[in-house]
């Protein structure tokens, strides 16, 4: 799914939440527009089902692209009128409370000039009703037209569950694909030291989470450890499971059982699998890698771990995840926060893929441009590897400069892995956080900011979705910020001030790609 349409889908979900608001529905009944609200929800749901089909067809069909642009404009206008409804409902509530509390209303009226006595609350109500009627009718007509036009363009209604299947990350394996790994020797040693430790603990199996943003090399580090000779000698059995989107306890348990027994498991019930797994683990020291975990349900984790606890003392589990909350719920030791590669190590990764068997000495201009490309990678090995592979067969300076000057979403050749890898993190965000992250596209690269600064900006833009007024806006914004930080969208600044944060350049590019039609930074235009 093109990133702009993910943002549109998230925005439509926010509109559904507003349309279902108790306060809005109460106001709509008072204004006798509740039938319009109900109709808007129904037609918007049908339009939403077109999105998955439209995003694929817009590339080759200009009419579909225009349809998506019209839908985007409509969603903003619909959001505006819903905000007007909410504001008017609040104004009436405050006016009513003020009138009830006033004990000298008649005395105040006597002091109002005659020319202004016509400006009473009833006048405001009727003025609002008259002014909003045309807007309501316009929204209703436009929704109807867009729905009809979508059908006329041949767009198919696809359920969200079906379209989500395309987002699953390709499964990982325990095999190392890189000819050589750069810059991870120290971290590899730290994790192996933990695996070889037999400390006494209340936890029957030790769990170490490897945490970091997408593309940082968490899986690669786990592969290095998993295939190490010392590790192989220290454990009786090993199992590698790519968990990905769904934390399916039955599937994961079967994979572990099949890895230990080297036999296919035909059991259909979780109980049968876990009982068999427990029997096969008794007295065995096992190492398990759970790669790419997203689910933070604590109970699911305890159910999965139950038979593993019967393994011999010293059994260990490595978990890789982008989410610090997932790591905290699963880990028995401090999270291993994976660091970005140094510029020299990042260059080694890039050069390994970009030059292959070519001599760098014979291509000084390409080396010069390549060094600048590596600066853009900001220590992200996935970016260095992907861009290096993209340039492997390109020998002209201008071809390398095109990559240097391109944004990541423009690098379509070879299906650049960078944006899909980062986009996966965005895809897993709830809709309210998607909007807040998209707003971060206004932040300049390398800009250091405090959490309060960003929260106040979100508040000013109305991006915080307060539920029943139970929390202060500042507290709600702080929760949003902490959630995005936990998912590695923000990282502490290395500038020395503990209270400040930055966005990785490629995460910043992701935010721009999300919001490219919604907002832009003036600095981008000034460069031209």
Q: Which class in CATH covers the domain with range 429-526? A: mainly alpha
Highest mean pLDDT among 28-32, 162-166, 227-231, 361-365: 227-231
At 201 the pLDDT is 57
Whether residue 115 has pLDDT greater than 50: no
* CA separation for the pair 79, 231 (Å, rounded): 56
How confident is the model over 254-312, as pLDDT tens digits? 999 999 999 999 899 999 999 999 999 998 999 999 999 998 888 999 999 999 998 89
Asked if 31 and 452 touch (Cβ cutoff 8 Å), the reply is no
- What average pLDDT does the segment 324-349 reach? 93
- Quote the pLDDT of residue 475: 92
pLDDT tens-digit series, residues 429-460: 887 888 899 889 889 888 999 999 999 999 98
Does 118 score more than 60 pLDDT? no
pTM above 0.85, yes or no: no
Specify whether the CB–CB gap between 235 and 401 falls below 8 A.
Answer: no
Which phi-psi region, left, alpha or beta, contains residue 350 (left: φ > 0; alpha: ψ -120 to 50)?
alpha
DSSP 8-state secondary structure symbol assigned to residue 492: E
Predicted pLDDT at 254: 95
End-to-end Cα separation, the chain, in angstroms: 29
Q: Is the pLDDT of residue 117 over 70?
A: no
- Residue 219: pLDDT band with limits 50, 70, 90: very high
- Most confidently modeled range among 16-20, 207-211, 328-332, 496-500: 207-211
The pLDDT assigned to 292 comes to 93
> In whole angstroms, what is the distance from residue 31 CA to residue 3 CA?
38
Can you give the pLDDT at residue 122? 43
Long-range contacts of range 10-14, CB-CB < 8 Å, 24 or more positions apart?
Answer: 10/429, 10/431, 10/434, 10/435, 11/75, 11/79, 11/431, 11/435, 12/44, 12/47, 12/48, 12/51, 12/75, 13/431, 14/79, 14/431, 14/432, 14/435, 14/465
pLDDT at 214 over 60: yes
Q: Determine the 3-state secondary structure of 27 from DSSP.
A: helix
Residue 176 clears pLDDT 60, i.e. is over it: yes
Please check whether the domain covering 185-337 is classified as CATH 3.40.50.300.
Answer: yes
Domain assignments of the chain as residue spans, ordered by start:
3-166, 185-337, 343-416, 429-526
Q: pLDDT by residue (tens digit) across 87-114?
A: 888 888 787 777 666 644 555 455 545 5
Average pLDDT over residues 27-46: 85
In the predicted model, what is the mean pLDDT of residues 364-391?
A: 91
pLDDT at 59: 59
Confidence of residue 199 (pLDDT cuts 50, 70, 90): low
The residues near 320 (Cβ < 8 Å, ≥ 6 apart) are 209, 210, 211, 218, 219, 221, 222, 289, 290, 291, 292, 293
For residues 148-170, give the mean pLDDT: 67
Report which of residues 468 and 186 the model is more confident about.
186
* CA nearest neighbour of 171 among 67, 56, 251, 91: 251
State mean pLDDT over 125-137: 69
Q: Is the pLDDT of residue 248 over 70?
A: yes
């Amino acid at each position: 799914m093109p990133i702009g349409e993910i943002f549109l889908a998230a925005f439509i979900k926010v509109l559904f939440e507003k349309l279902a608001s108790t306060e809005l529905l109460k106001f709509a009944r008072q204004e006798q527009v509740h039938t319009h609200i109900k109709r808007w929800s129904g037609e918007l749901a049908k339009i939403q089902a077109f999105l998955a089909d439209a995003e694929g067809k817009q590339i080759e069909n200009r009419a579909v692209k225009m349809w998506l642009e019209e839908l985007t404009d409509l969603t903003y206008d619909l959001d505006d009128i819903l905000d007007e409804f909410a504001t008017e409902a609040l104004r009436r509530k405050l006016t009513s409370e003020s009138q009830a509390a006033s004990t000298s209303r008649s005395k105040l009226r006597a002091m109002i000039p005659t020319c202004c006595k016509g400006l009473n609350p009833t006048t405001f109500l009727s003025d609002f009703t008259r002014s909003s009627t045309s807007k309501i009718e316009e929204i209703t007509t436009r929704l109807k037209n867009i729905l009809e036009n979508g059908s006329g363009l041949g767009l198919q209604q696809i359920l969200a569950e079906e379209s989500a299947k395309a987002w699953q990350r390709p499964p990982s394996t325990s095999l190392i694909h890189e000819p050589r790994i750069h810059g991870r020797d120290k971290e590899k040693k730290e994790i192996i030291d933990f695996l070889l430790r037999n400390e006494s603990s209340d936890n029957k199996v030790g769990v170490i989470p490897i945490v970091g943003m997408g593309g940082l090399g968490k899986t690669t580090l786990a592969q290095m450890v998993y295939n190490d000779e010392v590790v192989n000698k220290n454990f009786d059995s090993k199992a590698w499971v790519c968990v990905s989107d769904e934390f399916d306890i039955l599937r994961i348990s079967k994979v572990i059982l099949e890895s230990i027994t080297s036999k296919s498991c035909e059991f259909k019930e979780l109980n049968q699998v876990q009982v068999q797994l427990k029997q096969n683990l008794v007295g065995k020291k096992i190492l398990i890698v759970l790669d790419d975990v997203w689910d933070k349900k604590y109970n699911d984790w305890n159910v999965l771990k139950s038979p593993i606890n019967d393994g011999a003392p010293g059994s260990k589990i490595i978990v890789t995840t982008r989410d610090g909350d997932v790591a905290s719920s699963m880990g028995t030791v401090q999270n291993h926060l994976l660091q970005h590669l140094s510029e020299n190590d990042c260059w080694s990764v890039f050069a390994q893929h970009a030059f292959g068997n070519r001599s760098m000495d014979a291509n000084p201009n390409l080396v010069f441009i390549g060094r600048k490309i590596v600066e853009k990678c900001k220590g992200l090995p996935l970016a260095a590897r992907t861009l290096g592979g993209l340039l492997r067969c390109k020998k002209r300076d201008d071809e390398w400069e095109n990559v240097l000057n391109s944004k990541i979403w423009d690098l379509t050749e070879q299906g650049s892995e960078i944006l899909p890898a980062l986009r996966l993190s965005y895809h897993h965000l709830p809709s309210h956080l998607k909007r807040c992250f998209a707003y971060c596209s206004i932040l300049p690269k390398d800009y250091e900011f405090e959490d309060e600064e960003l929260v106040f900006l979100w508040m000013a833009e109305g991006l915080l979705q307060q539920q029943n007024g139970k929390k202060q806006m500042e507290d709600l914004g702080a929760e949003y910020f902490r959630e995005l930080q936990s998912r590695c969208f923000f990282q502490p600044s290395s500038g020395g001030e503990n209270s400040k944060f930055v966005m990785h350049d490629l995460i910043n590019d992701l935010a721009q790609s999300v919001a490219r039609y919604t907002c832009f930074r003036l600095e981008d235009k000034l460069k031209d």
